Amino acid sequence: MKVEEKDRINGKKIKRHERNAPLKRVLKIEGVGEESEKKLLGLINNIRIIKLTEAILKLKREFDKA
């Protein structure tokens, strides 16, 4: 991760880093075809939906207990 920004606020150093996930690095490669890009983006969207569903179910269980 590369440092994008460095700030000093009230004596504290704050660094902001570039978030460069492996998927983004692969998509930046020129040799990756358009079909492969679509498959990878579909996969990441599917993973996000699964995590969201799990979070919703967890919260629902917590509300049911209360």
- pLDDT tens digits, 8-62: 989 899 988 877 777 777 788 888 888 888 888 888 888 888 888 888 888 888 8
Provide the total of helices (H) and of strands (E) in the chain, helices listed first.
2, 2
The pLDDT value recorded for residue 1 is 65
The pLDDT value recorded for residue 66 is 66
Q: Going by C-beta distance under 8 Å and a sequence separation of 6 or more, which residues neighbour residue 13? A: 6, 7
Predicted TM-score (pTM) of this structure: 0.46
